[in-house]
Structure 1
Amino acid sequence: MVIKILGTGCANCKKLEANAKEAIKELGLDAVVEKVEDLQAIMAYGVMKTPALVVNEQVKVMGKVLSAEEIKKYLN
């Protein structure tokens, strides 16, 4: 499983990344978290508001910082 956090490095982006890593750890998943900060790459996903959560190349949420509990719903 590949999880991408799309964002330019703002505090909200970093929080979403930390929450995603926490969710993966709590679920015991074998997943990779990648940070995408390049604006062209972010726009290629059709994301206009960051941060965004991408799971296996599908945009799940944009413009919102999800808690680890909320992220788990997208990982199961």
Structure 2
Amino acid sequence: MRIQVLGTGCARCKQLTANAEKAVAELGLGVAVEKVEDLREIMRLGVMTTPALAVDGVVKAAGKVLSPDAVKDLLRT
């Protein structure tokens, strides 16, 4: 499983990264949360509003900071 947080490093992006890392730890997935700050890569994935969360290359949420529980829900599906 590949989990990516897409954003330029703003406070909201950092919060989503922390929430995603917490969700991964609580689910015991044993995968790293990758931070993507390159605008070309973000745009390649079709994201126009950050922060965004992608799982296995598919954008699951954009433009909002998901709570750890919301991230867990996305990772379970």
TM-score (norm 2): 0.96
RMSD of equivalent CA atoms: 0.6
- Counterpart of 1:60, as a letter, is K
Q: Structure 2 CA distance, aligned partners of 1:34 and 1:27?
A: 17
2:5 is matched with 5
2:40 is matched with 40
Instruction: Using the TM superposition, give the Cα deviation of residue 35 of structure 1 relative to its aligned residue in structure 2, in angstroms.
Output: 0.5
Percent identity reads 59
Q: Deviations over 1:14-33 (max 9, x none)?
A: 00000000000111112221
Which SS does the other structure have where 2:43 is aligned? helix
Instruction: Using the TM superposition, give the Cα deviation of residue 39 of structure 1 relative to its aligned residue in structure 2, in angstroms.
Output: 0.5
Q: Structure 1 CA distance, aligned partners of 2:53 and 2:59?
A: 6
Unaligned runs of 5+ in 2: none
Segments of 4+ moved more than 4 angstroms: none
- Counterpart of 1:10, as a letter, is C
TM-score (norm 1): 0.97
Q: Deviations over 1:15-66 (max 9, x none)?
A: 0000000000111112221100011000000000000000011100000000
Which SS does the other structure have where 1:61 is aligned? strand
Q: Structure 1 CA distance, aligned partners of 2:7 and 2:32?
A: 17
